Chains A and B, each alone.
Chain A
Amino acid sequence: MTTHRPAPRPDVRLDDGALERVTCTTCAAGVEVRKSSWEQTSIQWHTDALGACPERRASSPGAGPNATFAGCTALGDAIREAAVRGSLSVQSGEALPANPEGTSH
């Protein structure tokens, strides 16, 4: 088949806010991150960061046919911290949601 296949394009949403570099506070690996909201996180890893991640190295395959490394919790914490601190943009621009005053947490 000799059909024309257009080359993969960059995500149109990056026009509104680009990926930002976040450094893991545990292993100092640098990844590219974008948060569209407090709930959403995108992480672009590169080979060097994946090689540096101790959680990745320590991970066991897990159970089931689709067993794979689900993600690094230390990096997740570092990203959340960066967003809370304000050094990582949250595209929605909303304030950090929290439990209402007086509820247990």
Chain B
Amino acid sequence: MTASRTVSRPSAEELVVFSGEDGKLNVLDAFCRHMGGNLSQGTIKGNEIACPFHDWRWGGDGKCKAIPYARRVPLRARTASWPTLEQDNLLFVWNDPQGNPPPEDVTIPVIEGATRDDWTDWVWYTTVIEGAQCREIVDNVVDMAHFFYVHYSFPTYFKNVFEGHTATQWQKGVGREDARPQASQSGVAKMIGNTSVAAYHGPSFMIDDLTYHYEDGDVDSVLINCHYPISENSFVLQYGIIVQKAEHLPDPEEMARKMGDFIKIGFEQDVTIWKSKARIDNPLLCEEDGPVYQLRRWYEQFYVDVDDVTEEMTERFEFEIDTTKPNEARRAEVAANIAARASS
């Protein structure tokens, strides 16, 4: 790839993404430090990007490598550059307001299916959300009640664990008969349910390891749900899907597209709510709601300097709902309960 393009990021800064002859992807401040030319409109020359204004050449390390009309490059001719990671056919950019390199223990994990021949390629969707703060989408990770209404799934098991920089959600669900992609999957057996392990690795990148259970076998898929803020009240939402080419699945690519379209409908329903809702910092919750406060306490660690991250934000917290247990409850437990209460 030798094309370059502009990506907007918080504080209305713009970035340029380019790769030179060495094939490495680089991310720089889009505006040339010389006179402000937009490098995303420039050209690739060797391993550098050349400004369209005066042809200043910038390397992926942020250093000015050459000025064709000058005898020498000024000392300290540098622009801002961002560390990048290429993995699973995705490009990650590390943004640290304190300017530190990415610590090893926060690296996004590898998604095995993404580079396997027996899985589909990524199907990606990008949408700009105006009039909503990106905290709204993160809240979804604890919001059980909305699964039934928005995602047409009925969870029988639900668990959240927040620890360190990750927030995980386990879910076992039964598809609602009235609305699910299984109804439109011609030639595919009836879907019995799904198992999902979804985790935020940091504030904005969620991997959902999602398995659909059909009468004739399982189909594995991975859904990425990620975002970056543009301002306090707008963000870019992106989601991508890969599906395992299971033998009993006639058209995995079609399934990936259908899942994408289905998820898109779900997000659009969320967005409609977000655009007209108020920001609630002290939600009034009933006992059946998820751990919204505890999630926000975890989320707060990404809005303070690293030195100000407290144990309270990163300590392990678990929230579990198991609706299968009551049916298996042993009568012995009841007897013990009665005995214990009688003796107290």
Contact = CB atoms under 8 A, between A and B. Distances in A.
B319 A42 contact: yes
Given A39-B325, A91-B287, A85 B336 contact: yes
Given A11-B285, A45-B315, A64-B197, A96 B159 contact: no
A40 B322 CA distance: 7
A57 interface: no
Interface residues of B, number: 60
A7 B222 CA distance: 34
Interface string A56-83: 0000000011111111000000000000
A105 to B, nearest CB: 6
A10 B291 CA distance: 11
Interface in B211-236: 222, 232
B300 interface: yes
A36 B321 CA distance: 10
A88 B340 CA distance: 12
B232 A3 contact: yes
Secondary structure class of chain A's binding surface, majority of residues: loop
B320 A41 contact: yes
Given A3-B232, A46-B315, A66-B209, A12 B285 contact: yes
Given A66-B209, A91-B287, A96-B337, A8 B297 contact: yes
Interface residues of A, number: 43
B15 to A, nearest CB: 17
Contact of A1 (B11, B159, B294): B11
B318 A84 contact: no
A36 B209 CA distance: 28
Nearest to A67: B109
Contact of A65 (B207, B313, B319, B331): B207
B71 interface: no
B89 interface: no
B112 to A, nearest CB: 8
Interface stretch (B26-34, B41-49, B178-186, B276-284): B276-284
Interface in B191-223: 197-199, 207, 209, 222
Contacts of A10: 293
B106 to A, nearest CB: 14
Contacts of B110: 65
A15 to B, nearest CB: 11
A76 B294 CA distance: 20
B159 A70 contact: yes
Contact of B232 (A1, A97, A105): A1
Given A46-B315, A84-B337, A98-B333, A40 B321 contact: yes
Interface stretch (B74-82, B145-153, B160-168, B265-273): B160-168
Given A12-B282, A13-B285, A91-B287, A43 B318 contact: yes
Interface in B285-344: 285, 287-288, 291-294, 296-297, 300, 303, 311-313, 315-323, 325-331, 333-334, 336-337, 340-341, 344
Given A11-B291, A13-B287, A66-B168, A98 B197 contact: no
Contacts of B326: 38-39, 97-98
A23 interface: no
Interface of B: 10-11, 109-112, 159, 161, 163, 166, 168, 170, 197-199, 207, 209, 222, 232, 281-285, 287-288, 291-294, 296-297, 300, 303, 311-313, 315-323, 325-331, 333-334, 336-337, 340-341, 344
28 contacts: A12-B284, A13-B285, A36-B288, A37-B287, A40-B319, A41-B319, A42-B291, A42-B318, A43-B319, A44-B317, A45-B316, A45-B317, A64-B209, A65-B111, A65-B222, A66-B198, A66-B207, A66-B209, A70-B170, A84-B340, A86-B340, A86-B341, A86-B344, A91-B287, A92-B287, A96-B329, A97-B329, A98-B329
